[in-house]
A and B are shown apart, each in its own frame.
Chain A
Amino acid sequence: MQSEKLTQMLLEQSRQIINQAEKLQSYDLNTLTWKENEISWSILECLEHLNLYGDFYLPQIENEIKNSTIKTDIEFNSGILGNYFAKSMLPKEKLNKMKTFKDKNPLNAKLDKSIIDRFINQQIKLLDLLNQSRNVSLNKVKIKTSISSFIKLRLGDTFQFFINHIIRHLSQIDRIQVAMKNT
């Protein structure tokens, strides 16, 4: 698809993500730290998990954009791997449970509302990076994944993968709220 169309779509998804996070600001700490059982995550743990991913990806994206000398492409073409990763992140009808990497596991991290602020700040940063990405090629700029530094994805795929991952966990946050209501 056209790079600009992709960027517009990602900006709109980011806007919705920020709005969902702003809603969480009004919840009390008990609600935000409620867990269905010992090993399931609370709302704050979901957000902290996302923050850890942001810590990994956002600085790298910023650096690669800054150092890129190749000019922008009108058309963005998804890489095979990138496309697969991005799509597999989306929450599906019948949710496939995924194992979390140990260093991205938020269980029992220090949990308070500052986690929400941190998350929102990362989304604002993401908006900024999406805007900056208009000046570079979404195809040629490559970003290392957190899975392995040998696996690099196109910037366009990385943005999609990153955002779909957030959407996945926001769905999880919705489900937590439903579960809480039903207890």
Chain B
Amino acid sequence: MKEIIELSDNIIIIQRNEFLKVKGSIDTNLYYIESGSVRIFVLDEYQEQTIRFGYKKNLIVSLDSFLTGKPSDLFIQAIKKTVIKVVSKQQIEKFLETESNRNLWMKILENLVIQQMEREIDILTNSPKERYERVLKRSPQLFQEIPNRHIANYLRMSAETLSRLKKS
């Protein structure tokens, strides 16, 4: 992954609550978070639904837009002040000209697919307790980096329910 990060020649800083991306825009950048945290969410009838987080040392991307070059409904918003290294799609495409780089990229994508599958099961899991435990086991770091109210939204439960589950 560090080979990809090293491609970046552009660092941006976004302040708390600022948007890196809004619904409908085309965004083919790959973002590496140096510090801070962001959430990726969609608006479902004016309700926010967080689908993913990014914190330090994470790569985030609107994968739909990245792969298709088409608009994506995703919002990416800073939860706190965040420093980001930006890698453009053109830089990635150049990077992918060598076979060993392509293998590296494959590994990253494979990883993402597995994460997506885990997430799919999360969402289809009925019990809040189980949803919580799955994510706790998979990403304990999340609970250090991200405020509870956002995690609750991600887990599709109220903040009170999450508090209760954390205590028990």
Contact = CB atoms under 8 A, between A and B. Distances in A.
Contacts, number: 41
B25 interface: yes
A15 B22 contact: yes
* Interface bracket on B: 10 to 19
A127 B23 contact: yes
Contact of B22 (A23, A127, A134): A127
A14 B26 contact: no
Interface residues of A, number: 17
Per DSSP, are chain A's interface residues mostly helix, strand or loop, or mixed?
helix
Interface in B5-31: 14-19, 21-26
A131 B19 contact: no
A8 B25 CA distance: 6
B17 A22 contact: yes
A11 B15 contact: no
A58 interface: no
B126 to A, nearest CB: 31
A7 interface: yes
Interface in A114-134: 124, 127-128, 130-131, 134
Given A11-B22, A11-B24, A22-B18, 4 more contacts: A7-B24, A11-B25, A127-B23, A131-B73
A-B pairs, top 8 by smallest CB distance, nearest first, are A131-B24, A22-B17, A19-B18, A15-B22, A11-B25, A11-B24, A15-B19, A127-B22
15 contacts: A8-B25, A11-B22, A11-B25, A14-B22, A15-B19, A19-B15, A19-B18, A19-B19, A22-B15, A22-B17, A22-B19, A127-B22, A128-B23, A131-B24, A131-B71
